[in-house]
């Protein structure tokens, strides 16, 4: 995104960008067409069961989130739910880390770019650890500011190793890439087949 010389952390600009993003998200979700999932014209299929319909959304709303659009079932046969956008979902709301598997999007407002990166990486970090095989290694690179909660029970029970780099800043990374683009640096790249990924990660931490 180009700010054309404008301070990217100016509150007015961030507010305008958030409003535009909210409107674009609403415009993208509103036309979704419910129907038979086998019909190519259908863009919004039914949920697996009636019980799955609103449980998570209702719980998120009860914990302080607000519905920008949707949050209700569609009045037609089948377990169909309106496309829904939830705003104001805080970290103490269970919805912050849950996967809805429903036509639900979470909309967040943040103070600056670093806060946006930290917010975006908070939940995926838990997912990455959860997907790591037993006795495997989870490698973190380009860590932004912020805290990343570790599911300690899973890490210990599955003998998972968590590794990462905390040296430098995001500005350092941008300067290093610019340095390389000028031909003042050289990267040694070695291609390896995907099945060798575990061996590669082990060598990276040696």
Q: Point out the domain boundary residue: 59, 76, 107.
A: 107
Which residues 6+ apart lie within 8 Å of 145 measured at CB?
114, 117, 118
Looking at the structure, do residues 20 and 87 belong to the same domain, yes or no?
yes
Looking at the structure, do residues 39 and 92 belong to the same domain, yes or no?
yes
| 43 belongs to a structural domain | yes
C-alpha span between 181 and 172 (Å, rounded): 14
SS3 state of residue 44: strand
Query: How are beta strands 84-87 and 66-69 bridged, if at all?
Result: antiparallel
Using one digit for the tens of pLDDT, what is the confidence trace for 87-116?
A: 888 888 888 877 777 788 888 888 777 777
Query: Does the pLDDT at position 62 exceed 70?
Result: yes
Looking at the structure, do residues 139 and 77 belong to the same domain, yes or no?
no
Looking at the structure, do residues 24 and 100 belong to the same domain, yes or no?
yes
Q: What is the mean pLDDT of residues 21-47?
A: 84
pTM of the model: 0.52
| 115 belongs to a structural domain | no
Residue 184 is encoded by which pair of tokens? 């003042």
Looking at the structure, do residues 63 and 103 belong to the same domain, yes or no?
yes
Number of domains in the chain: 2
Residue 106 is encoded by which pair of tokens? 């979470």
Looking at the structure, do residues 147 and 60 belong to the same domain, yes or no?
no
| 6 belongs to a structural domain | no
Indicate the DSSP class of residue 186: -
> Which domain range does residue 36 map to?
11-107
């Amino acid at each position: 995104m180009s700010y054309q010389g404008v301070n990217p952390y100016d509150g007015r600009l961030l507010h305008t960008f958030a409003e535009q993003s909210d409107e674009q998200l609403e415009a993208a979700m509103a036309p979704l067409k419910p129907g038979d999932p086998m019909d190519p014209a259908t863009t919004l299929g039914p949920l697996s069961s009636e019980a799955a319909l609103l449980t998570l959304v209702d719980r998120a709303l009860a914990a302080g989130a607000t519905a920008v659009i949707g949050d209700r079932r569609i009045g037609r046969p089948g377990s169909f739910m309106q496309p829904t956008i939830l705003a104001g979902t805080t970290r103490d709301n269970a919805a912050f880390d849950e996967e809805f598997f429903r036509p639900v999007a979470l909309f967040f407002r943040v103070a600056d770019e670093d806060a946006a990166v930290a917010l975006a990486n908070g939940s995926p970090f838990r997912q990455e650890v959860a997907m790591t095989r037993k006795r495997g290694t989870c490698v973190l690179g380009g860590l932004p500011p912020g805290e990343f909660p570790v599911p300690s029970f899973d890490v210990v029970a599955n003998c998972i190793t968590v590794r990462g780099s905390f040296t430098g800043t995001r500005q350092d990374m941008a300067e290093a890439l610019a340095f390389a683009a000028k031909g003042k640096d050289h990267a040694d790249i070695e291609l390896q087949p995907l099945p060798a990924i575990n061996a590669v990660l082990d060598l990276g931490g040696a």
